Structure 1
Amino acid sequence: MSPPPPKWKGRCDLVGAACNNKLIGARNFANKSTPFDDEGHGTHTASTAAGSFVKGANAFGQANGEAAGVAPLAHLATYKICNEAGCRESDILAAMDVAIADGVDVISLSVGGGSTAFFNDAISLASFRAIQKGIFVSCSAGNSGPAPKTLSNEAPWILTVGGSNSDRSIMATAKLGNGKEYDGETLFQPKDFPAGAIANGSQESAWCKPRSLRNGNVQGKVVICERGGGIGRIEKGKEVKEAGGAAMIVMNDEDSGFTSLAEAHVLPAAHVSYTAGMSIKAYTNSTPSPTATILFKGTIIGKKSAPEVAGFSSRGPNVQSPGILKPDIIGPGVNILAAWPFSIENITNTKSTFNMISGTSMACPHLSGVAALLKSSHPDWSPAAIKSAIMTTAEILNRENKPIVDEKLLQANAFMIGAGHVNPSKANDPGLVYDIQPNDYIPYLCGLNYDDKQVATIANRDVQCSKVKRITEPQLNYPSFSIIMKTDAPQTYTRTVINVGKPGSSYRAQILPPAGVSIIVKPTLLTFRNTNENATYSITFSKTNRTVGEFSEGNLSWISTDHVVRSPIIVSF
């Protein structure tokens, strides 16, 4: 999902998932290409959302077990919108229009092209048409992290999905001649790799650019390749192999931190963190004859710090609408094993072919599958209600019961994780939901100071903002809060929740205010006699005298005897 030329989107494929068990088929919208997936991305994302059960799924023998998509009994339709040149917006619109006409319940779109005004963005426009038909839309947040303000797909009617890792590692350990070991990852894991000398060169050769190692002495050596330089990690390995190198250690750049990827390298390799890479480099500079080997340890389960935000996952704030917190959620997007249209091991006698790749493209279909399950379980829920259920039940703690961390192992903030990491089981029984109907977005869009033509382009009908009661962004009935405090004046907003739990439920407000802000909620107790009953509360944000940084965060939770309905709050100053 690299930034595309104007009017083109990054590489992608589109999945529409309904809730039964039958293959509809595939349709082609990308010019000059077949309707078949000859690149792999679409097969991978489709099977992640709705793949059938397959025993013995693995790649190079790693992550071996029974594979299944998140919604394995879902009805699946795929629409090809990309070719070798990219993904044209006209093809995206055409495919999504056909998906809507086909009656899908969920559209999963692992594509994005940077921040664009909603009225000028094909995905935003087509997604609004989808939610008008009751279709849930899930999109990837983008792979431009860890820099802030790098999101794609920022519209509030889209579920915007960031990427995290899981507790599974495909471990490869770089062991140095001084005895120190540094854990990394790789998918291709040969046996009994011997120790060898380490090769370390100039910046040009450090990036292992094509033909940069041919004049160096790397024959039979373990070559350190730095991440970056516009060269893909697997391409770096090809250069090492063609120059005669025996193995490769890929070290992260500083931005990528501790996010390591298990990939199908063409030679023995280990992808290590920036910290590990710097230590390895320091060792090579400390001795005249540095040596290393790679210990291949296979699939390891149980990483306690998981889930961690992936370094590539795009971050907020939301450029197009700062008063809407994005991303909405994070889900698994690192080292995801899923179906692939051909064997990456050149095995010809099998139809069961898998690959392991990473990106928010992989996180998006996880959430699409969750949405399909929720739609099947709650067919009367709107797209906004499904989104609310996913967001208000998300996890903000990792497997160690500590706050989720980022690629630097520092506590992640809401501009990285949104509401948190998806918990599908809890989402099926959220207790309360925040609902938004398509017409509710019109006052919000007018409040963005879009003109009548721009709002009409989104709404697909005539709109006169002069006849609409405009609202500011935080007045939208969203399951999270993004507040911008430019003055000391208090800000008050209302929210309405629907009881989708049992009748006779009561919820009490629990407030964790952001630093530098006081919060008053009225009333503090919501009581529901019946299921599907509404209740409205007000929330007021005021500055305190405490000095804070650019932003601070907290949360509001509505707590009953058996539910916690949590909304993240982030306040920018």
Structure 2
Amino acid sequence: MLDTGIKPDHPSFNDTKMSSPPSRWKGTCEFQHPYSCNNKIIGARDFSVVDKNETRNPLDEYGHGTHTASTAAGNFVEGANLFGSAAGTAAGIAPHAHLAIYKVCDTDGWCPHTSIVAAIDAAVEEGVDVLSISLGNPAPLQFYEDPVLIASFRVMERGIVVSFSAGNNGPEYYNVINGVPWALTVGASTMDRQLRATVVLGNRQLFKGEAAYQPKDFRQEFLPLVYVPNCTSDDSLKRSKVQGKIVVCDYDYNDIDDADAIKRNGGAAIILVNMKQGESTTTAVANSLPSADVGYADGLEVKRYINLTKKPKAKISFQGTVFGDDRAPVVAAFSSRGPNIASPGILKPDIFGPGVNILAAWPTSVENKTNVKSTFNMLSGTSMSCPHLSGVAALLKSTHPDWSPAEIKSAIITTADVVNHAGKPIEDANSHDASIFATGSGHVNPQAANDPGLVYDIKPIDYIPYLCGLNYTNRQVGLFWNHNKVHCSRVRSIPEAQLNYPSFVLNFTGGELVSQTYNRTVTNVGLSKSTYRVAVVPPVGIKVRVVPETLNFSMLNEKRQYQVTFTRLATAPNKSFVQGFLKWSYCKYTVRSPIAAILQGPQSWN
């Protein structure tokens, strides 16, 4: 885990029923007394220290790293909850996996590239199997411009799976980060669990929101309602006379500060309204006041009611932890979307997983000036979905130690779920069918990924013609490949979509009715004797031809090739992109590859 460190004495990191570190492990422990490593945390180092005279200590004072580490591999903790909500037994995705901690961020959350790269190099030498990096640049860069992405290539070469967060800049297109094809790039989704807080207006309009702090003694009665444009300002709050009122605030990333300021000025409760880009993705925040976080459209209705009503009033009722939202998983509004600006021919994000209201370990007591305390906290972001996939990768590495990073990625991608709990297409936060550039291949299905039938492999050397095909210079490609000098003029460069990736992205932005043909190789990891048949749902206006239509296998690890030709038809719609998929099926196996055809340049998107 590359993050802000860890709180080693949290119950999530007890080593009950944990085995000893593997004999190949070479890590060290830099905790200062009284903290130490154990059979759960087998290594902990601090790369955030710049001053050589400063004591190194991987202790987490920020929270992010403790949260992500317990999400990926926290041990079982009974009675986990946040202020009584989401109560139950907490565990990470891979609860029996060992943790190696690399602190790369300071107490302010600043994570310099130099610290991250140094930690990556150390992790490789010390013997990690999976590298989880819930970090990234604020905007996408060309691969050769990002030292972390360059370093991640060396990680992949050593057989280590790298999992990156996709970024929190959704819902606009072309803003996914960490989009290299040799790593997993992970988007975020909701779960079917909600911490329900319902807002009822004086006109009986009702809006469902969420809240982590749900006091049982909060008065279930109508109170005066007021909208304050700047809820952090004491002056604004005093002028608005918030004493005894429910205060409506616009979400501004400082909602805890908003609640504290409102409480100081005598406010009774707070309704947080999402920003426009937040759409209907609601978060359960540990505020110091009773609160409800509502979606953007609902918030507009609340503010409209205030503007049109002489004496507006509202009440907030708390329903506690509610399960069974059959719309789940929904793509979080904040989850960054593709296409991948540095390499549009590679589908990113690859996958998405739980990243909204994730309950996980926290290094300090979450009390927020209430009388209730918790050592767990809820956070939202692709930083939270990334360690879910890191945990899945660790499980797959355990059951399939011979699989390459590309094969583990392939198993995850080709077995992903594309329908929600109601059996309908996965939606975005606006209740529209989610696009392929929001979901990638779909929502992770760990059980299916463990037995995918077929996998697509990519060797490290295969990425060199791909990088040359991006029109990188010899020097730029050489940043990734340290074995010998690269001469792209001597390399048979390939277009992006020719890489043996388990998905397809086609560039038809020229508008001409042309064909593109690509080859793929699959390896049989299912039943030794098997016959897979192809089925295609082509993108609208795109003809898809697969040769052969049947793949016969007589043994495990046998490889077969197929060829796909995509042709843009005159009937192609006037849209930014269209999407479809192809799948190979045999008995219980369905090996699905998403297809995206980009029809217009970036200027026509969003």
Tell me which interval the TM-score lies in, with the shorter structure as reference length.
over 0.9
The DSSP-based 3-state class of the residue aligned with 2:151 is helix
1:568 alignment partner, one of 571, 590, 594: 594
| Aligned residue type for 2:490 | K
Equivalent residue for 1:339, pick from 341, 349, 361: 361
Matches within 5 A, 1:197-276: 197-201=223-227, 205-211=228-234, 212-228=236-252, 231-276=253-298
Aligned with 2:240: secondary structure?
coil
Secondary structure at 1:215 match in 2: helix
Counterpart among 83, 88, 91 of residue 112 in structure 2? 88
Contact residue 14 and residue 81 of structure 1 kept, 8 A: no
CA distance in 1, matches of 2:531, 2:224: 65
Is 1:470 paired with 2:454? no
Alignment of 1:434-473 (within 5 A): 434-461=456-483, 462-473=485-496
* Mapping for residues 146-225 of structure 1, pairs under 5 Å: 146-194=171-219, 195-201=221-227, 205-211=228-234, 212-225=236-249
What code does the residue aligned with 1:101 have? Answer: E
Q: Write the distance in 1 (CA, Å) between the matches of 2:147 and 2:83.
A: 39
Q: Deviations over 1:405-437 (max 9, x none)?
A: 111111101100000000000000000000001
Aligned pair in 2 of structure 1 residues 14, 79: CA closer, same or farther (>3 Å)?
A: farther
**1:243 deviation in Å?**
2.4
The two structures have a TM-score, normalised by structure 2, of 0.89
Counterparts of 1:36 and 1:346 in 2: how far apart (Å)?
22
- Report the equivalent of 1:330: 352
- 3-state SS in 2 of match to 1:214: helix
User: 1:189–1:96: structure 2 CA closer, same or farther, 3 Å change rule?
Assistant: same
Deviation string, structure 1 residues 169-220 (Cα, Å, up to 9, x no partner):
011111222233211001011124223544434xxx3242333323221111
Secondary structure of the corresponding residue to residue 108 of structure 1: strand
Alignment partner, residue 540 of structure 1: 565
1:298 aligns with 2:320: yes
Q: Is the 8 A contact 2:165 2:185 kept in 1?
A: yes
TM-score between the two structures when normalised by the length of structure 1: 0.94
For residues 397 and 57 of structure 2, what CA distance do their matches in structure 1 show?
32
Q: Is the contact between residue 509 and residue 557 of structure 1 (CA under 8 Å) also seen in structure 2? A: yes
Deviates more, 1:189-198 or 1:369-378: 189-198
Counterpart residue number, 1:7 = none
Query: What do the CA deviations read for 1:124-176 (whole angstroms, capped 9, x no partner)?
Result: 11110001000000000001111111111011011000000000001111122
Q: How do 1:116-155 residues align onto structure 2 when only pairs under 5 Å count?
A: 116-155=141-180
| 1:258-407 → structure 2 map (5 Å cutoff) | 258-345=280-367, 353-407=375-429
The 3-state SS of whatever aligns with 1:557 is strand
* 2: CA distance, partners of 1:125 / 1:367: 21
Query: Counterparts of 1:459 and 1:413 in 2: how far apart (Å)?
Result: 34
1:292-331 deviation line (CA, Å, top 9, x unaligned): 1111111001111000000110001100000001000000
Secondary structure class of the residue paired with 1:372: helix
> 1:255: Cα distance to partner?
2.1
Instruction: Give the deviation of 1:236 after TM superposition.
Output: 2.0
Distance 1:232 1:518 in 2: 50
Secondary structure, in 3 states, of the residue corresponding to 1:385? helix
**SS where residue 344 of structure 1 aligns?**
coil
Aligned residue number for residue 523 of structure 1:
548
Q: Distance in 2 between matches of 1:143 and 1:346?
A: 25
Contact 2:226 2:245 (8 Å CA) reproduced:
no
Q: Residues 8-36 of structure 1, C-alpha deviation per residue, up to 9 Å, x if partnerless?
A: xx975699x99976421310000267421
SS at match of 1:469: coil
Q: Secondary structure at the match of 2:277?
A: coil
Identity in percent = 52
* Partner in structure 2 of residue 29 of structure 1: 47
Distance 1:14 1:566, change over 3 A: farther
2:128 is the alignment partner of 1:104 = yes
Return the alpha-carbon distance in structure 2 between the equivalents of residues 406 and 210 of structure 1. 34
Asked if the contact 1:198/1:221 (under 8 Å) is kept, the reply is yes
- Aligned residue for 2:480, secondary structure, equals helix
Length, aligned pairs only: 558
CA distance, structure 2, for counterparts of residue 11 and residue 241 of structure 1: 33
1:163 partner amino acid: A
1:504-523 → structure 2 map (5 Å cutoff)? 504-523=529-548
Alignment partners' CA distance in 2, 1:262 and 1:74: 29
Q: Which segment is superposed worse, 209-218 or 291-300? A: 209-218
Aligned residue for 1:62? 85
**Which segments of 5 or more consecutive residues in structure 1 lack a partner in the other structure?**
1-9
Structure 2 vs 1, CA of residues 85 and 49 (structure 1 numbering), >3 Å: closer, same or farther? closer
**Structure 2 letter corresponding to 1:550:** S
CA separation in 1, counterparts of 2:418 and 2:551?
24
TM-aligned CA distance change 1:536 to 1:207, over 3 Å = farther
